[in-house]
Amino acid sequence: MNFSEFMNSVLSLARTAGVREKTALQVVEHELKRMFAATHGIGVSVKSLSDEERDQLWERAKQAILSNEKDLFSRAPTTSSPEMGAPSEPAEMVPTESEVGMTEAELVPSSAAPKTALDRFSSIVKIAVKRLDPRSQFVVFPHQEGEMAHLTGSAARALLRSLGLVYKMRLVDVKIEREDREDEKGKYYIYVASGRLIFGDGEVYVEGTASTRNKFFWMAKGKTKELHEINERDVRKAALTELYKECAAWLLGGRAFPIEMLKRLGVKVNLIPKVSFSQGG
């Protein structure tokens, strides 16, 4: 969406949700800084964004406004500012109870009943997966063992929100770092997004990577791009998306689901878009 459409949408949503326009604009500014946490949003404004980036900001701001994150601006912060490139709790991890549709008391498992806890966790995951939009939150890729549906970045974030509500799951100490490299094909760089996924009493280190050598960035109409032609911000965002996917994969035991399994869960698999690699990389 363009700048005018974005501002009109934000102000219209604020009126509908009963939020002051000033507060809604503060939410937008807050989410903008979160989107570009590596630079603390310096030099970035809503006007300077591309239409696609503005669409992403709209989705984040809409979620924040509707989930009452406006409360963040009515009280003083209780934690220190995160260091450069390390937001302690990204916006995607802020859950709302309506996303799960059950109360915490009904879902939190008892430590005295491990089998029941495991069964409940499995049920919650199935509910969360079933609620994903097959048109935009799965992509089917060909595998040797048949077609498998992979989670998209938005699907991974949706699952983490649902599980984060019930199990007090948090992704913390997120860092995004660039690594410059060179080989016989020339110079390239990799972005590594890393963090700690805290789950109950345990935690695990997770990371996602994205490289300028990824064909989605490097190739265009069958030809390779020069390094300066690649949008570095896109590579950085892709690394963060891969981090969320890795979190979801760690929780689910993998990034892909057999089509038959999704059918049994009630997912409309016929709506899932398919990707073919027949033309090669």
Per-residue pLDDT tens digits for 75-133: 333 333 333 333 333 333 333 333 333 333 333 333 434 445 556 566 767 777 878 88
Predicted TM-score (pTM) of this structure: 0.52
CA 87 to the chain's CA centroid: 14
Which residues face 189 on adjacent strands? 180
Mean per-residue pLDDT of the chain = 72
Q: In this structure, which amino acid lies at residue 103?
A: T
Q: Which conformational region is residue 146 in: left (phi greater than 0), alpha (psi within -120 to 50 degrees), or beta?
A: left
In sequence order, the 6+-apart residues with CB closer than 8 A to the CB of 16 are: none
Rounded CA gap, 207 and 244, in Å?
A: 8
Tell me the pLDDT tens digit for each residue of 132-163. 888 888 888 776 667 788 888 888 887 777 77
Name, in order, each residue with C-beta under 8 angstroms of 174's C-beta and a sequence gap of 6 or more.
37, 86, 87, 88, 90, 193, 194, 195, 240, 243
For residues 1 and 52, give the distance between their C-alpha atoms in angstroms, rounded to a whole number. 7
Q: Above pLDDT 90, what percent of the chain?
A: 7
pLDDT greater than 90 at residue 56: no
Which of 87-91, 116-120, 200-204, 251-255 has the largest mean confidence?
200-204
Q: Which structural domains are found in the chain, ordered by start?
A: 3-78 (no CATH), 93-271 (3.30.390)
Query: Quick one: pLDDT at residue 168?
Result: 67
